[in-house]
Amino acid sequence: MTQSNDSIDANFSVSWTHRLRFTEHPFSSDSPLNQEISKLNPLTLLPVIDRGIVNENPSFVESLQQWLDSLKIPTSDLLIANGGEGAKNDSQVVDMVLESINANNLCRKSCVLVIGGGAVLDAVGYATSIAHRGIPIIRMPSTTLSQCDSGVGVKNAVNYFGKKNFLGVFDPPYAVINDLGLLESLDNRHWISGLSEAVKVALIKDEKFFVEIESCAQELVNRDSAAMASVVKKSAILHLEHITKGGDPFERLDARPLDFGHWSAHKLEQITNHTLTHGEAVSIGLAIDLTCSVRLGLLKESVATRAIALLQALGLPTAHAELVNNALLDGIEEFRQHLGGQLTLLMLKGIADPIDIHELDTPIVRQAIAELL
């Protein structure tokens, strides 16, 4: 601590363990879910589940209910949250969780267990972060995207003023339990769409992983569980390592490498009225920034072509009619405003060889888009 007269700078840091577990038997007695619940030993447990799982995987819900009934801790009634981006577009899910926290007297020694896609995790995590300044939450991500990426993240947000993630907080979950079996009930579109985040993290951090995704692309498309398990696991670990070892878990600095391809993705989601999934929008955003990297003279054309070919081999889109919408370019300024400070976008010089840039001229983006259409 430094001190002089009336000026005090007192440093403090808070240590946090980011717990990520993989399982295929979430409700067995020795499962990581049971272990984490026992460690936390909450006074009350409030379970929340995505309606998509309730509709498509009734046997999971039955097992969940049996497990909840077997717990020795007081448990509130299972809440069902409408899934998809709508969960973040209005206050219904946040309000429902806050009302249940209030009605069931949950406190900071309680726990919310949320099982759902990225949108439900974001909205429920936002509610638990603001109630009593933070109720511990255990996340069980249930989509490819949320198991590969968002479930491991420390961000929780809802959309406001028509802007993606305008209201939100940095608040890490108590634990993240990735149950690979949950992915089985996804339709083909959502089974694949989150893989764009795996390709993204491979492109910016791990060439070997990129090659692995290339070599198992067909198996992934064919819904091969072992291929999916391996890709989800590596992607989640790369995201977790970035957060825990990257030196900037709460994004205080200008760079946001995990948001490669996201300035346009977030804007595209909004322009297309969320008819694109986040993962699909990210795939298109990656194609744009890979092509911009080439046009900026940073990246060899053959590398961009190879990466775009991988996205296409996975059945992901790399272009959209709305790319010619002038509003897309507003995404650059909105991205800067959301982050604050100077514009910082990540581009590539090669696979696992990123570089930050601080301006991106409109003609370059228009040229890149023209090439993709």
Binding site for ligand NAD (CB under 6 A): 50-53, 56-57, 83-85, 88, 116-120, 122, 142-143, 145-146, 149-150, 153, 155, 182, 185-186, 190, 194, 277-279
Which CB sits closer to ligand NAD, 44 or 57? 57
Cα separation of 79 and 201, whole Å?
A: 33
CB of 343 to ligand NAD, least distance (A): 20
Which CB sits closer to ligand NAD, 42 or 261? 261
Beta strand residue intervals within the chain, DSSP E: 2-4, 7-9, 20-23, 45-50, 79-81, 111-116, 137-141, 155-160, 163-170, 175-179, 345-350, 353-357
Q: What are 92's two structure tokens?
A: 């219904």
Which CB sits closer to ligand NAD, 188 or 215? 188
Cα separation of 345 and 347, whole Å?
A: 6
The torsion angle over the Cα atoms of residues 67, 22, 79 and 54, rounded to 10 degrees, is -90
What is the number of alpha carbons within 13 Å of residue 303 lying toward its C-beta?
A: 23
CB of 60 to ligand NAD, least distance (A): 8
Which CB sits closer to ligand NAD, 172 or 354? 172
CB of 40 to ligand NAD, least distance (A): 22
Contact between 57 and 214 under an 8 Å Cβ cutoff? The reply is: no
CB of 2 to ligand NAD, least distance (A): 35
Which residue do the tokens 């390709």 mark? 199
Which CB sits closer to ligand NAD, 267 or 295? 267
CB of 50 to ligand NAD, least distance (A): 5
Q: What are 166's two structure tokens?
A: 């305008």
CB of 8 to ligand NAD, least distance (A): 35
Which CB sits closer to ligand NAD, 80 or 307? 80
Q: What are 217's two structure tokens?
A: 């692309």
CB of 280 to ligand NAD, least distance (A): 9
Cα separation of 98 and 123, whole Å?
A: 11
Radius of gyration of the chain (CA): 21
Contact between 46 and 106 under an 8 Å Cβ cutoff? The reply is: yes
The count of other CB atoms within 10 Å of the CB of residue 227 is 19
Which CB sits closer to ligand NAD, 85 or 206? 85
Which CB sits closer to ligand NAD, 57 or 110? 57
CB of 106 to ligand NAD, least distance (A): 22
Helix (H, G, I), strand (E, B) or coil at 131: helix
